[in-house]
Amino acid sequence: MERSISVERLPGDWYLGEFDIAVAAVGYEARSRHIFETRPVNSKIKSGAAFDVQQVLSFGDNVAWYRSNEFTLDIVTDSEYAVWFQSVLERADSSKDSLRIVVDISSLSRVRIADIISVARRFAGTVNLVIDFIYSLALFTPPPTGESVNSHVGPVTNDFAGWWSDPDRRLSVVVGIGYEQDKALGAVEYLEAQDIWVFEPRSVIEQYTAALQSANATLMSMTDPNHRFIYRVQDPLDCFSRMQSLVQGLTVTNNVVLLPFGPKLIVLCSLIVAARDKRVAVWRVSAQGSETPVDRQGSENIYGLRVCFT
């Protein structure tokens, strides 16, 4: 069976109706429970994967809330997450031709979002999956001031390492910038990219704009103005479409690495683009849990994408 991935705009009433599966990420941010707390969903299966590290700040309150609201919780390591997510899918009604799933990615790591995409692609060989990926934009908090040592720079997972037929081709790097000081710049310099493209977010919370422009001033000075895209966080479908179009053009002559910093929605867009074209790599830069935890609060600005795996 040939498998495909299609992307649609998330309807404003996404939380109405009935889901087969609801998936939560339980971490130290109060934002971990914000969407399901303010948009209760009707789902036959409610499952949450709690992080095994940094169980601080709002972690205990999040666990208590999910357990009191009919979610089954498991403590899951990154290396276990793909198997855990597959086990959740296998608990659904096996007689159905299609499963409707909702996943809150607000507090999910890049690795875990990648695992969801990979497992969903494989699982779609037996049943169609319609996944609503939802995201709550955090209320503004100042960017971190302390420096953390990056212990991982490379593909987000092996599935997203990119299949390059000619490693010597010109390298294009497509960067989604966030407000961490020069983090994107360090990754671009590490890759020694000859061709840089930047996706810069704009949201309804205006404080983020000045912070990310300050944090990325050097990278911006190195980037051709014609290679800069401003995307609206509230319109992830437009962001996905523009990235998909750009990457399709670049892969004709170049190898492509996507480096998504910033809101988790651009991480999702990058992973879907790469899942549709295995030549494209998605990299992450991480301090592997040594960053200082920040208890981010969810806002009423909730966005997402509906992704169909068939």
Mean pLDDT, to the nearest integer, of 88-109? 96
Question: Quick one: pLDDT at residue 144?
Answer: 79
Same domain, 168 and 274: yes
196 pLDDT band, cuts 50/70/90, is very high
CA distance 176 to 160: 17
Same domain, 280 and 302: no
Check residue 298 and give left, alpha or beta (phi > 0: left; psi -120 to 50: alpha). beta
Same domain, 54 and 96: yes
Same domain, 37 and 80: yes
125 pLDDT band, cuts 50/70/90, is confident
Domain assignment present for residue 264? The answer is yes
Same domain, 12 and 134: yes
1 pLDDT band, cuts 50/70/90, is very low
Count how many domains the chain has: 2
Question: Quick one: pLDDT at residue 3?
Answer: 67
Q: What is the pLDDT of residues 133-169, one digit of tens each?
A: 999 999 999 987 765 556 688 999 999 999 998 999 9
Domain assignment present for residue 147? The answer is no
- Using a 10 angstrom Cβ sphere, with 0-12 exposed, 13-18 middle and 19 or more buried, the burial of residue 235 is middle
Average pLDDT, the chain: 95
Domain assignment present for residue 95? The answer is yes
Domain assignment present for residue 146? The answer is no
Domain assignment present for residue 305? The answer is yes
Question: Quick one: pLDDT at residue 288?
Answer: 62
**Contact residues for 132 (Cβ-Cβ < 8 A; gap 6+):** 10, 14, 19, 100, 101, 102, 103, 304, 305, 306
Strand-pair category, 281-286 with 152-155: antiparallel
Q: What is the pLDDT of residues 237-296, one digit of tens each?
A: 999 999 999 999 999 999 999 999 999 999 999 999 999 999 999 999 987 666 889 999
Domain assignment present for residue 44? The answer is yes
Domain assignment present for residue 207? The answer is yes
Q: Provide DSSP, 242-306.
A: HHHHHHHHHTTTSEEEEEE-SSHHHHHHHHHHHHH-TT-EEEEEE-TT-SPP--PPEEEEEEEEE
Question: Quick one: pLDDT at residue 290?
Answer: 65
Same domain, 112 and 213: no
Residue (of 187, 185, 146) closest to 293 by Cα position: 146
Q: Collapse the DSSP code of 187 into the 3-class scheme (helix H, G, I; strand E, B; otherwise coil) and give the result.
A: helix
> pLDDT at residue 303 above 60?
yes
Q: What is the pLDDT of residues 12-60, one digit of tens each?
A: 999 998 999 999 999 999 999 999 999 999 999 999 999 999 999 999 9
221 touches 215 (CB < 8 A):
no
> pLDDT at residue 72 above 80?
yes
| CATH number of the domain bearing residue 118 | 3.40.50
Name the residue range of residue 93's domain.
Answer: 5-139+294-309
